[in-house]
Amino acid sequence: MMFFRNITIGQYIYRDSIIHKLDPRVKIITVILIITTIFLVNSWTGFFIIGFYLFINISLAKVHPKFVLKGIKPLLFIISFTLLIHFFTTPGDIIYRIWILNITREGIHRGLFISVRLFYLILSTSWLTLTTSPIALTDGIEKLLSFLKIIRVPAHEIAMMMTIALRFIPTLMEETEKIIKAQIARGADFESGNLVKRIQNFLPIIIPLFINAFHRADDLAIAMEARCYRGGEGRTHYRQLSINSIDHVFIIITLFILIVSYLWVV
Amino acid sequence: MFIHLKDVSYTYNLNMPFETVALKGINLKVNRGEFIGIIGHTGCGKTTLLQLLNGLIEPTKGQIFIENIDIHKNKKKLKEIRKKIGLSFQYPENQFFEENIFKEIAFGPKNMGVAEEQLVQSVKKSLQMVDMDYQSFKDRSPFSLSGGEMRRVAIASILAIDPEVIILDEPTASLDPQSCSKLLSVIVDLYQKYHKTIIMVSHNMEIMAKLARRIIVMEKGEIIMDDTPRNIFQKSIDRLEDIGLSLPQVTYTMYKLKKIGKPVSSGILTVEEAKEEILKLVNENKK
Amino acid sequence: MIEFKNVTHFYNTEQNEKIASLSGINLKIHKGDFVAIIGANGSGKSTLVKHINGLLLPSKGEVLVENLNTRDMEEVWNIRKQVGMVFQNPDNQLIATTVEDDIAFGLENIGIKAKEMGERVDWALNIVGLNGLRNSEPHLLSGGQKQRVVIAGALAMNTSYLILDEPTSMLDPKGRKNILEIVKDLNKKESITIVYITQFMSEAAQFDKIFVLDKGRIVLEDSPKKVFDKAEQLLGLSLEVPQITRLARELVKSGLDIPGNILNEDEMVKYLCLYI
């Protein structure tokens, strides 16, 4: 009954590749650009170009496609669900009829479009998280957000919260597993009963988990204070980010391809 | 025989990239009325073994029999098995969740289907077994207790389901000397007065030498020794040293004396034994 | 030097009672000292050490570190640079997601330049012997390794005082031994002052000096030899003496002419060889 052992947080896989060496900021911006474009693009040619571009990026990252597709598996249900909803609920030319449900040409078209968009969305974010270590990601986000400090976006605080979350998620998962097992050893049953009963059954897990998490938070706050932590001001960074020529080339190519995919309507 | 592990192995994340072997080829028989101490370093597989013993995890290879029944053949029986074999995890106070000690202890028996009117009896009895007064503790919050009291309440919450075997994973970890010796006297009572079978993991060799009747030494997922404390500390002291397990100071002293050629008998476990042995030798020398 | 001048600390209970967790503490710990603090649960050990770097402030009295007062809001950061702390639970002290980033955490906080940070992290990793694990994630380390990371984090700050609050109570014997070895080395080789709280009397016996706390007061302050000579008093304080010392005392009672305050196996062997 191993509940959580399989989960790896930030599914980062280390490889010696061009993509891995890119500055995290460049990769984050790339993903934002890709996502914006896939929701603007309205032609199959456009989608094809983006798909090809993603394929190249993933190949360059030297990460086995198996890992990329693993990220899609849990969301397959959502994709197929969206697909079906659009198939049946879009008005237009009816091309097939099952009982009271009509499948329309427009439905198929729209459904496929949305599915491809979701698919690309997951693909591009997986590409980012597979090739960027959680730390680099956090540093990148902090740096990117720091432009927004003028409008009082707490960039450092957000990054610090992400770091702590990343650090403690595995610990808390282990702890959850241990609590579940301990309560099972005391005869607790998490599998039977109606919904209300089941929610009640989870209290013996949730309550200790929260209490322990607060203890940890207390300890951690004291440890941080003892190590001279007093917010982001005057703080330096162990890891230095630098944008070099490869980053420039990459972002220019990306922009070019995305613009082409948007403008290309056949 | 009560518990029988037959060629049991356990691998985490079987068939995954990060698969890790926790236990391999474990054969173990536990009889009623034993007091078994399990020692070994963190990561040697102790905790996995304990979880296998009461059916919390299923071996990836091999079989576990309890009273000659293969416990994973019939999943419905698992709850019954957990009723017979109580498991108290390390730092068990981390699983407290109720507002008062009565409810905390009653959680187990309630789950096991004990009737409301019998709960009071059952909680009373368990508190008594850990030497705590029912009236003065039942309404207190489990979180308001001292470290040692928390441990005892946690053990009481296992005792309340009336198991025949009590498995304790490092029950004295992080306790101060006094709470530690109080808890140990409770454990001795469980064994001697209440006739529970005890399986206990501890790093404290002094405790193990004093209490356990049989010691199992584990390393890297295997049982490397299984014998009486005396035999283990007599024959295998070099091996224990090699693995870096700490020996009781008196055992170690006698071992050192023997090594430099003094005619002491090794396998000394307690201060009393050491004292007698030394005085005997001193008197012989005088003659 | 760390100096406590008549320090009393009150805390409020849920019933709003004022309870003194420390009362009238006077102590001096000199640079290069190697001291242990023992005492039953609730005797005020943790409260005491948390005063050293201003995590807690005295209700009465003063705490001075190198003549800087912990009450001084500006100086407290200078004090924390000099006083490193290691706490009991190895899981709750590491902040970053890799070992080297965690060691750098304190350095980032005090604004050290990246290049110097790299050097200091390397140096600290070497001292605690964790060079091979610099990229590891904390949750994959053993308890002992985690504590070593915490120690390295303090060392990187060029700390001159290292305070350890029951650092080994959650570790296995191997980890425990290892931490104690590191702490001894730091004192001998790097002349770092060590203040070490422990429940293990055999650990305390290895220090130069022991403070014994009871109900917020220092009741004994002496060498281990002298402290463990007072076995009856220690028992009265819910403490005990190391097993080997118990044996020595038993032998003395039976008429053997050896000291009753033997603290380790080698010493015992030496004396017994006179008789057998």
Q: What would the pLDDT profile of C4-47 be if each residue is shown by its tens digit?
A: 999 999 998 877 888 899 999 999 999 999 999 999 988 999 99
Residue B38 belongs to a domain: yes
Would you kindly state where each structural domain of chain C is located, as residue ranges?
A: 2-241
Judge whether B129 and B157 are in contact, CB under 8 Å: no
Kind plus residue range of the DSSP H or E element containing B65:
strand B61-66
Chain B CB contacts of C142 below 8 Å: 42-43
CA distance C36 to chain B (A): 15
- Dist. CA B270–CA A159, nearest whole Å: 55
Name residue C27's beta-bridge partners.
C4
Mean predicted confidence (pLDDT) in C187-205? 96
Q: How many domains does chain B have?
A: 1
Instruction: Give the contacts of B212 (CB within 8 A, at least 6 positions apart).
Output: B35, B36, B37, B200, B229
Burial of B39 (0-12, 13-18, 19+ CB in 10 A): buried
Chain A residues within 8 A of B96 when measuring between CB atoms: 208, 211
A interface with C, Cβ–Cβ < 8 A, is 134-135, 163-164, 166-167, 170-171, 174, 215-216, 219-220, 222-230, 234-240
B97 with A5: Cβ contact below 8 A: no
Beta carbon pairs, A and C, within 8 Å: 96
Kindly tell me if the per-residue pLDDT of A9 is higher than 50: no
Is the pLDDT at A74 greater than 80? The verdict is no
**CB nearest B244 (choices: C174, C199, C238):** C174
What's the pLDDT band for A266 if we cut at 50, 70, 90?
low
Structural element, H or E, at residue C33? none
Under the banding of pLDDT at 50, 70 and 90, the label for residue C165 is very high
Q: Is residue B61 part of a domain?
A: yes
Find the length of chain A.
266
Amino acid (1-letter code) at residue B199: I
Return the axis-axis angle of helices C114-127 and C143-156, rounded to nearest 10°: 140
More confident residue, B236 or C186: C186
d(CA C198, CA C211): 11
The mean per-residue pLDDT over the stretch A99-122 comes to 86
Using a CB-CB cut-off of 8 Å, the residues of chain C touching B176 are 40-41, 199, 238
Q: What is the ipTM of this complex?
A: 0.93
pLDDT at B277 over 70: yes
Average pLDDT, whole number, for chain C? 95
In this prediction, residue A73 carries a pLDDT of: 78
In a domain, B259, yes or no: no
Whether the per-residue pLDDT at C183 is higher than 80: the answer is yes
* Contact call for residues A169 and B57 (beta carbons, < 8 A): no
Domain of B128, in residue numbers: 3-247
Question: What is the rounded average pLDDT of the residues B42-54?
Answer: 92
Q: What H or E segment, with its residue span, contains residue B107?
A: helix B101-111
- The reply to whether B229 touches chain C by the CB within 8 Å rule is no
Is the Cβ pair C247, B203 closer than 8 Å? no
Q: What separation in angstroms does the CA of A240 have from each of A23, A142, B123, B210? A: 10, 12, 60, 57
Q: Which is nearest to B243 in space by CA: B49, B42, B12?
A: B42
Residue of B94, B104, B167 for testing the chain A interface, max A β-carbons within 10 Å? B94
The minimal CB distance from B82 to the residues A5, A178, A185 is found for A185
pLDDT greater than 80 at residue B191: yes
The widest CA-to-CA distance across chain B, in whole angstroms, is 71
Q: How many angstroms separate the CA atoms of C39 and C220, rounded?
A: 10
Q: Does C44 touch chain B (CB under 8 A)?
A: no
Whole-number pLDDT of residue A5: 43
Most confident of A69-78, A167-176, B119-128: B119-128
Tell me, yes or no, whether B118 lies in a domain: yes
Q: Given pLDDT bands bounded at 50, 70 and 90, which one contains residue C182?
A: very high
* C96 to A238, C32, C103, C170, C220: CA distances (angstroms): 11, 31, 8, 21, 40
CB C179, CB C161: distance < 8 Å: no
Q: Is C248 on the interface with B (CB under 8 A)?
A: no
pLDDT at B17: 64
pLDDT given at position A10? 55
- Put simply, the answer to whether B96 touches A211 (Cβ < 8 Å) is yes
Q: How far apart are CA A24 and CA A98, in angstroms?
A: 49
Q: Which helix (H) or strand (E) holds C8?
A: strand C2-12
> Are C248 and C74 within 8 A, CB to CB?
no
> Looking at residue C53, what is its pLDDT?
95
Residues 101-140 of chain C whose Cβ lies under 8 A from any Cβ of chain B: none
The three-state secondary structure class of B168 is strand
For residue B69, give how far its alpha carbon lies from the nearest alpha carbon of chain C (Å): 35
Q: Give the one of B43, B173, B176 whose C-beta lies nearest to C170's C-beta.
A: B173
Mean per-residue pLDDT, C121-139: 94
Please identify which residue in the block is written with the tokens 């989960």. A7
Q: Which residue has the higher pLDDT, A84 or B157?
A: B157
Its sign, for the CA torsion A51, A57, A63, A67, is negative
CATH number of C2-241: 3.40.50.300
Nearest-neighbour CA in chain A from B125: distance (Å):
17
Q: DSSP state, A190?
A: S
Minimal-distance CA residue of chain B relative to C170: B174
Q: What is the mean pLDDT of residues A178-189?
A: 92
Residues of B in contact with C246 (CB under 8 A): 271
Q: B51 in a domain, yes or no?
A: yes
Residue C139 has its nearest CB partner, among A164, A170, A234, at: A170
Q: For residue A93, what pLDDT is reported?
A: 79
The whole-angstrom separation of Cα C102 and Cα C151 is 11
CB nearest C238 (choices: B174, B176, B248):
B176
Cβ atoms B206, B28 nearer than 8 A: no
Nearest to C276 among B146, B147, B262 (CB): B262
Distance CA C274, CA C276 (A): 6
pLDDT at A3 over 60: no
User: Residue A6 — very low, low, confident or very high, per pLDDT cuts 50/70/90?
Assistant: very low
CB spacing of C40 vs B41 below 8 angstroms: no
Q: Which CATH number covers residue B234?
A: 3.40.50.300
Verify whether the Cβ–Cβ distance B51 to A182 is below 8 Å.
Answer: no
CA distance, residue C246 to nearest chain B CA (Å) = 7
Q: Using alpha carbons only, what angle is made at residue B196 by residues B194 and B198, rounded to the nearest 5 degrees?
A: 135
Residue B13 in contact with partner chain C when CB distance is under 8 A: no
Q: How far apart are CA C110 and CA C118, in angstroms?
A: 14
Question: pLDDT for B85-140, tens place per residue?
Answer: 999 999 999 999 999 999 999 999 999 999 999 999 999 999 999 999 999 999 99
B259-273 pLDDT per residue, tens:
899 998 878 899 999
Taking a C-beta distance cutoff of 8 angstroms, is the pair B53, B167 a contact? yes
Q: C134: helix, coil or strand? A: coil
- Distance to chain A for C154, nearest Cα, Å: 8
Q: Nearest by CB to B94, which of A2, A184, A212?
A: A212
Q: What are the structure tokens assigned to C199, written together?
A: 């429940």
SS3 B214: strand
Chain B, nearest residue to A6 by Cα? B13
Task: Please check whether residue B54 is in contact with residue A185, taking contact to mean a CB–CB distance below 8 angstroms.
Answer: yes
Identify the chains in contact with B, defined as 3+ C-beta pairs within 8 A: A, C
Each residue's pLDDT tens digit, A191-250? 777 778 888 888 999 999 999 999 999 999 999 999 999 988 889 999 988 899 999 999
Residues 156-175 of C with CB under 8 A from B: 166, 169-175
Per-residue pLDDT, averaged over C152-164, amounts to 97
Rounded to an integer, the average pLDDT of C190-206 is 96
Residue B94 to chain A, least CA–CA distance (Å)? 6
Inter-chain CB proximity C96 and A163 less than 8 Å: yes
Tell me, what amino acid is at C261? N
Tokens of C262: 């033997």
Contact B94 A185 (CB under 8 A): no
**Closest residue of C to A171, CA-based?**
C139
**DSSP letter string, C242-258:** -HHHHHHHHHHHTT--S
Residue count (chain B): 287
Q: Which of the other chains make 3 or more beta carbon contacts under 8 angstroms with chain A?
A: B, C
Q: Among C50, C97, C111, whose Cβ lies nearest the Cβ of A234? A: C111
Of A26, A25, A57, A244, the closest CA to residue A141 belongs to A25
| Chain mean pLDDT for chain B | 92
Q: How far is CA A97 from CA A109, A124, B1, in A?
A: 16, 36, 68
DSSP letter for each residue of B15-62: TSTT-EEEEEEEEEEE-TT-EEEEE--TTSSHHHHHHHHTTSS--SEE
Whether residue A175 and residue B79 make contact (CB cut-off 8 A), yes or no, is no
Instruction: Please judge whether A2 and B58 are an interchain contact, meaning their C-beta atoms are less than 8 angstroms apart.
Output: no
Interface contact flag, B95 A187, Cβ < 8 Å: no
E-strand stretches of A84-131: 94-98, 101-104
Please compute the mean of the pLDDT values over residues A157-161 and round it to a whole number.
92
Please indicate whether, in this complex, the C-beta atoms of B13 and A6 are within 8 angstroms of each other: yes
Give A208's contacts in chain B (Cβ within 8 Å). 94-97
